[in-house]
Chains A and B, each alone.
Chain A
Amino acid sequence: MKPVYVVLVVLFGVSVGIIRFRQFRARLRRRRGSEAGAQRAPAGRPDSPSVGGEVATAPAAAVPPGPHERTAVRRAADIGERFGDVGQIAMREVTERVRSRIFRVGTIIVLVAVALAIIIPELDKSSSRPTPQAVGVVGTVSPALEHLVAAAGKGDKDKVRFVTESSLARAQGALRAKKLAFAIVGGSEVLLWEPASLSSSPADPTLVDDAAEYLGVLQAYRTAGLTPAQAADIDNSKSAPVRTLQSGSGHSTHVVPVIGIILMFVMLSQYCTWTLIGVMQEKSSRVVEVLLATVRPLQLLAGKVLGIGLVALGQATLVVAFALLLAEGLGSDVLKGDQPLAVAALLLWLVLGYAFYCWLYAAAGSTAERQDQIQTLALPLSIPMLIGYVYSLTVASSGSPDTFFKVLAYLPPTAPFCMSVLVALGQATWWEFLASVLISIAGTVAMAVFAARIYRRAVLHTGGRVRLRELLARSGQR
């Protein structure tokens, strides 16, 4: 069995196992809950949901965790407690997000997409089995030619078999019946029934070209008057070593930047939209009033973007680790070479990109109150991201960045995409990379200050959209 299938089966088995285990645990909890409820029932309040001693199996009856029970949420809260209010707020974000169905399904979809991106090329590779190529031989053929054609066939994934035909007529018959792919006649000519490029032809066009080329070369040796030994020497010649003066530049494959840029775009838009929606929901549900009665606006904002940022980083790390492990397990060369550097750079830029954009989206969310305002707000914000994304994709596949692209690699809104591509293409020195990172950090700080100012004004302003001019005009007291 192919390793691909083994991996797929194992993945499937593990996920089914996890689901079963969770179901089992939930059932166990429910049962324990109803037993506890049955014991409590006689002493219960008259209006408790028990009828004639029978305990109603309402979900509410399921085991409430006691005040001392260590639930996952409380463990997270303990971690958050060490970092003050911002920590508490961030850990709430993390636990609520990670528990949500959207997050889980989304993660699985991303993992499946990444797995397919790695597995499909592998399947493609293994499905292209060696195609049998029966090569008719009319007259004699030198062993050197047979050797060369067979070797060329191996290179082209063809399984070459030589069939000696007694006459040209028989060879022609076999060609017509497609028993032969092509025939070598008299050691000087390649004969086909129809052009090899036609899909109906059984002949591999590359192999035909190779055979013709070798025939020509051998004939040239003969005309040049080389002895068979000399000709053999030439045939067995080895390539001279190739030396590069700078390692890491010029990659044969641009798969990592392309996959990476797509993932980065998907994740950045997803998580930034989460901050936007999260802030908007806190405002529209008015829970922000309760929260801001005890914490400062900047703490609430910082906790929120930090929490979502942690979830984003966690998910990205999971996806990357999964991709690397899967590629390693399959022996895929998609992520081979000196790409770990590019992968690390991608992760760093995901963090920097999120840090820059999240403030902007959060500030935008604080000016909205309804779901339908989200589209109008998110679209203009996503334009710089889209420019960086599309431009980076074209450059990543062409492999040749122009000057404008290099400029974009230093601007915080587009740097996450453009600089990652430059790194993956080996066209950025360490100090260029560092300069771009520093500019991005500076831009993030400026953006955070600006966003906090808008947020503070807008989030408590209810009743209709808030105008930007209004927000920037007055200076606040808080």
Chain B
Amino acid sequence: MRSVPGVLELEGLRRRYGDVVALDDLSFEVPSGQVVGFLGPNGAGKTTTMRAVFGLTDLDAGSVRWNGIPVNQAARRRFGYMPEERGLYPGMHVGEQLEYLGRLHGLSTVDAARATEDWLERLEVADRRDSKVETLSHGNQQRVQLAAALLHEPELIVLDEPLSGLDPTGIDAIGKVLVDQARAGSCVVFSSHQLDQVEDLCERVTIIDHGRLVVSGTVDELETSGARRLVVRVDGDRSGEWARRLPGVTVSEVSAGAVRLVLDRSVDSDDVLRAAMGIGRVTEFSFARRRLSEVFREAVA
């Protein structure tokens, strides 16, 4: 358990690159002890926001605070960062590189060596400690990069697309580590486009678009809020044409014969069932939660 669970506060962040507005008065908070998914379409300003936390982007306005105190160099030493475009010395040995980064985060030589050992073991890359980074596979480089962000037991962990390009085993391994860190009291934020994984890993999500906050809340809240969803399967029907004719009903998805419907408040589900039975034998009829992908699409539409 980290001694000081903290909260990351971003307030009124503004950043403009020429004519492009990257951040437009963006504010939100990230509490400790949870895994927070940071979502948004490409170019929404996710990377700029994360870089701003580490002072890697100059802000035109706004402030980043950790436990109420503006973030400075000393605070950043206790943060861990995994940038979107991975950054390690290609020709340096994995173990020595991690020890070096650990020392730069304030660990003693011995502690850095021990933490390196532990993390390489935990992320199952201990047998590559004497290899050069450039000889590692993409997945293993990603693991080493994650180890670099976690070595010094950071209070805040910010990861830009940590799951991209990984195979399912890699996603599971890294996802488990992130959840463990949050359970241990850290503040974990990561961006991703793999919404299924985000749904599995995160308690909360924050969605931004055009540099502005769109939605923020727990996954449960977001999935149970909004219009009702119905999944209906009718023998012999593959297109869901019948549902499109119903007033107040939108077909959000048709997959493998199952039609996913979004119902307006005014629609009675019994009417839908009757319409379905008019087409053929109904084999499935169930209410469903809003999926995170739907939350996302509706938020940024």
Q: Do A and B come from one complex?
A: yes
**Residues on A facing B (Cβ under 8 Å):** 45, 47-49, 58-62, 64-68, 73-74, 77-78, 80-81, 85, 88-89, 92, 96, 281-282, 285-296, 460, 462, 476-478
B77–A88 contact, CB under 8 A? no
Contacts A74-B113, A294-B77; A49 near B83 (Cβ below 8 A): no
A288–B87 contact, CB under 8 A? yes
| Segment at the A interface, from B36-44, B90-98, B179-187 | B90-98
Residues of chain B contacted by A67 (CB below 8 angstroms): 110, 113-114, 116-117
Shortest distance from the beta carbon of B89 to any chain A beta carbon, whole Å: 5
Query: Which of B92, B99, B103, B127 is A96 in contact with, Cβ under 8 Å?
Result: B92
| Segment at the A interface, from B27-35, B54-62, B248-256, B272-280 | B54-62
Residues of chain B contacted by A77 (CB below 8 angstroms): 99-100, 103, 109, 112
Contacts A59-B130, A88-B104, A294-B104; A68 near B86 (Cβ below 8 A): no
Complex CA distance for A445 and B79, rounded to whole angstroms: 33
Complex CA distance for A77 and B104, rounded to whole angstroms: 10
B87–A92 contact, CB under 8 A? no
A60–B131 contact, CB under 8 A? yes
Among residues of B, the one whose C-beta sits closest to the C-beta of A87 is B103
Shortest distance from the beta carbon of A122 to any chain B beta carbon, whole Å: 41
Residues of chain B contacted by A47 (CB below 8 angstroms): 124
B103–A88 contact, CB under 8 A? yes
Residues of chain A contacted by B289 (CB below 8 angstroms): none
* CB of B85 closer than 8 Å to a CB of A: yes
Among residues of B, the one whose C-beta sits closest to the C-beta of A78 is B109
Residues of chain A contacted by B193 (CB below 8 angstroms): none
Complex CA distance for A61 and B128, rounded to whole angstroms: 9
Complex CA distance for A89 and B104, rounded to whole angstroms: 8
Among residues of A, the one whose C-beta sits closest to the C-beta of B131 is A60
Complex CA distance for A284 and B108, rounded to whole angstroms: 29
Complex CA distance for A67 and B151, rounded to whole angstroms: 14
Among residues of A, the one whose C-beta sits closest to the C-beta of B78 is A294
B89–A287 contact, CB under 8 A? yes
> How many of B's residues come within 8 Å of A, CB to CB?
45
| Pairs of residues from A and B, 6 with the lowest C-beta to C-beta distance, nearest first | A286-B87, A67-B113, A287-B87, A293-B54, A293-B81, A289-B83
* CB of B2 closer than 8 Å to a CB of A: no
Contacts A67-B117, A285-B88; A295 near B104 (Cβ below 8 A): yes
A294–B130 contact, CB under 8 A? no
* A-B CB contact pairs (8 Å), 29 listed: A58-B127, A59-B131, A60-B128, A61-B127, A64-B129, A64-B130, A67-B114, A67-B116, A68-B113, A73-B99, A77-B109, A77-B112, A78-B109, A81-B103, A88-B104, A92-B100, A285-B87, A286-B83, A288-B87, A289-B54, A289-B87, A290-B101, A293-B56, A293-B79, A294-B77, A296-B73, A460-B57, A462-B85, A478-B58
Residues of chain B contacted by A478 (CB below 8 angstroms): 55, 58
Complex CA distance for A286 and B86, rounded to whole angstroms: 6
* CB of B148 closer than 8 Å to a CB of A: yes
* CB of B105 closer than 8 Å to a CB of A: yes
B116–A294 contact, CB under 8 A? no
Among residues of B, the one whose C-beta sits closest to the C-beta of A296 is B73
Complex CA distance for A59 and B94, rounded to whole angstroms: 14
Complex CA distance for A68 and B130, rounded to whole angstroms: 16
B89–A285 contact, CB under 8 A? yes
Q: Which of B76, B108, B113 has the largest number of chain A CB atoms within 10 A?
A: B113
A285–B90 contact, CB under 8 A? yes
Contacts A64-B129, A293-B54; A73 near B96 (Cβ below 8 A): yes
Residues of chain A contacted by B92 (CB below 8 angstroms): 96
Complex CA distance for A288 and B85, rounded to whole angstroms: 11
Residues of chain A contacted by B57 (CB below 8 angstroms): 460
Please name 17 further chain A to chain B contacts, defined as beta carbons within 8 Å, in addition to the given A77-B99, A77-B109, sorted by A numbering: A47-B124, A60-B129, A60-B130, A60-B131, A61-B127, A64-B126, A67-B113, A67-B116, A68-B110, A73-B96, A77-B112, A81-B108, A285-B88, A286-B87, A290-B87, A293-B55, A478-B58
Residues of chain A contacted by B87 (CB below 8 angstroms): 285-291
Among residues of B, the one whose C-beta sits closest to the C-beta of A64 is B129
Among residues of B, the one whose C-beta sits closest to the C-beta of A37 is B127
Shortest distance from the beta carbon of B150 to any chain A beta carbon, whole Å: 12
B117–A477 contact, CB under 8 A? no
Residues of chain B contacted by A66 (CB below 8 angstroms): 113, 117
Complex CA distance for A294 and B95, rounded to whole angstroms: 19
Shortest distance from the beta carbon of A473 to any chain B beta carbon, whole Å: 12
Residues of chain A contacted by B56 (CB below 8 angstroms): 289, 292-293, 460
Complex CA distance for A295 and B106, rounded to whole angstroms: 11
Shortest distance from the beta carbon of B67 to any chain A beta carbon, whole Å: 18
Residues of chain A contacted by B100 (CB below 8 angstroms): 77, 88, 92
Residues of chain A contacted by B77 (CB below 8 angstroms): 294
Shortest distance from the beta carbon of B207 to any chain A beta carbon, whole Å: 24
Binary contact track B58-73/A, C-beta < 8 Å → 1, others 0: 1100000000000001
Contacts A74-B99, A289-B83; A294 near B76 (Cβ below 8 A): yes
A85–B104 contact, CB under 8 A? yes
Residues of chain B contacted by A85 (CB below 8 angstroms): 104
Residues of chain B contacted by A73 (CB below 8 angstroms): 96, 99
Complex CA distance for A141 and B131, rounded to whole angstroms: 85
Complex CA distance for A61 and B112, rounded to whole angstroms: 22
Shortest distance from the beta carbon of B46 to any chain A beta carbon, whole Å: 15
Residues of chain A contacted by B129 (CB below 8 angstroms): 60, 64
Shortest distance from the beta carbon of A291 to any chain B beta carbon, whole Å: 7
A286–B85 contact, CB under 8 A? yes
Among residues of B, the one whose C-beta sits closest to the C-beta of A68 is B110
Residues of chain B contacted by A289 (CB below 8 angstroms): 51, 54, 56, 81, 83, 85, 87
Among residues of A, the one whose C-beta sits closest to the C-beta of B127 is A60
Shortest distance from the beta carbon of A38 to any chain B beta carbon, whole Å: 15
Shortest distance from the beta carbon of A344 to any chain B beta carbon, whole Å: 35
Complex CA distance for A477 and B87, rounded to whole angstroms: 24
Among residues of A, the one whose C-beta sits closest to the C-beta of B158 is A293
Residues of chain B contacted by A285 (CB below 8 angstroms): 87-90
Shortest distance from the beta carbon of B163 to any chain A beta carbon, whole Å: 18
Residues of chain A contacted by B95 (CB below 8 angstroms): 64-65
Residues of chain A contacted by B85 (CB below 8 angstroms): 286, 289, 462
Among residues of B, the one whose C-beta sits closest to the C-beta of A459 is B56
Q: In chain B between 6 and 28, which residues have their CB closer than 8 angstroms to a CB of chain A?
A: none
Complex CA distance for A293 and B77, rounded to whole angstroms: 8
Q: Which of B57, B99, B110, B127 has the largest number of chain A CB atoms within 10 A?
A: B127
B99–A291 contact, CB under 8 A? no
Residues of chain B contacted by A59 (CB below 8 angstroms): 130-131
Complex CA distance for A45 and B127, rounded to whole angstroms: 11
Residues of chain A contacted by B76 (CB below 8 angstroms): 293-294
Complex CA distance for A65 and B126, rounded to whole angstroms: 12
